[in-house]
Structure 1
Amino acid sequence: MEIALVQESPYRFRIERREQMHVPGVVFASRELLPQAAGDKALEQVANVATLPGIVRASFAMPDVHWGYGFPIGGVAATDADDGGVVSPGGVGFDISCGVRLLAAGIDRAELGHDRLRRLMDILDRTTPRGMGGGGLWKLSGTEELDDLLIGGARYAVEHGHGVPRDLDRCEDHGVLVGAAPGQVSSRAVERGLHQVGSLGSGNHFL
């Protein structure tokens, strides 16, 4: 299926409504990234998500969009429960909550310049742990502390020096999920995650 895109701005493209789509698709990407998204059929998945019951406004795709299990990875959609909307964790498979993050810095873009920006990216690349066996910056004492972290969320991290209070203002529910139940996490997942706290983890994660 060929997906036609209408350019709305340098980094925003629209997929017009057609057939069973309830809303349009909106793709945030540079023109250079689009052939990759089209080549692995991720744009078809953006259009498919637009057919979900109760979907509102648009089926969105972030710059990292690529083929997923149902939703494209990098896909974003909101649905209205009063209009038959659905909650579908399985839509994104195992990458749920994997996403694009934007960090603000107290420096003007013009002050960086190409060379300083390149050096900054190199430093981030060298100092940010990721990948299998890379380990995390936060060495937990064991599974009990991991349970405390799962219950306390980002607030627990801030209280232990891994962040600042204002970070919580930019997190959904201030970074704490009420009713979190660590006992529901499989022992295999605990084993894999215990040593990856404070890292980008493994799998399809990038910096």
Structure 2
Amino acid sequence: MGEDVTVSDHGLLVGENVPPILGEYGGLNLGVMEELGYTVRKKDENGDPVDEIDWEKTRAVQIRSNYIYINLKGRDKYGIVEAKDKYDLEEQIISDLYSYRDKATGKRVGGIAMRNKDSVVLGLGGAECGDIIFTINEGFNRLHGDGLSTAEGYAQTSVTPVFLAAGEDIKEGKITDRVIRQVDVAPTIAEILDVRKPEQCEGAPVYQILKK
């Protein structure tokens, strides 16, 4: 008896457009956030911006693909936003993200945008995530990690990950239409091995591919 399960972190897509700088996973992103006035750079003696953030004027920054952090007083080293103003500022940023349009195409760049506490429905939220979690709209994704896992790109590319299973307890040649999530992998393996599922398990076994 033996089963094999093969999964991938993600696929990789080819972007259709040259998107505005939002959701890039390398460092702090300016682009859209600077254009909207939330992130401000210092200026040299000629009034030209330099590559240094002016924290005394910056209300929010976009870092790590899908996260926007409010520059909160009392929490952040150079925070300027009062705690009482955080909710309204988040609302304003979310509204601006939904309203922002790509200048070349006129299409909306942002996908989903929500507060940290609301993003639990996406399996996110908590101290490891930003104050606002957002995705990039399909067609403006760069490679991966800035949009939903269902995003598709140019030339039939996609970020959809791979899930393959084979063995005595797996139906031969079965292809399921079910969306298999990362949290479904552990309970599926537990079901195959007939062992106790993880205590904090959030997913469910992929029964569609199992013989038993």
TM-score interval for Structure 1 and Structure 2 normalised by the shorter chain: under 0.3
Query: More strand per residue: 1 or 2?
Result: 2
Specify which structure has the bigger relative contact order, considering alpha-carbon pairs within 8 angstroms and separated by 6 or more residues: 2
TM-score for both structures, normalised by structure 2: 0.22
**Which of the pair has more CA radius of gyration?**
2
Query: More helix per residue: 1 or 2?
Result: 1
TM-score for both structures, normalised by structure 1: 0.23
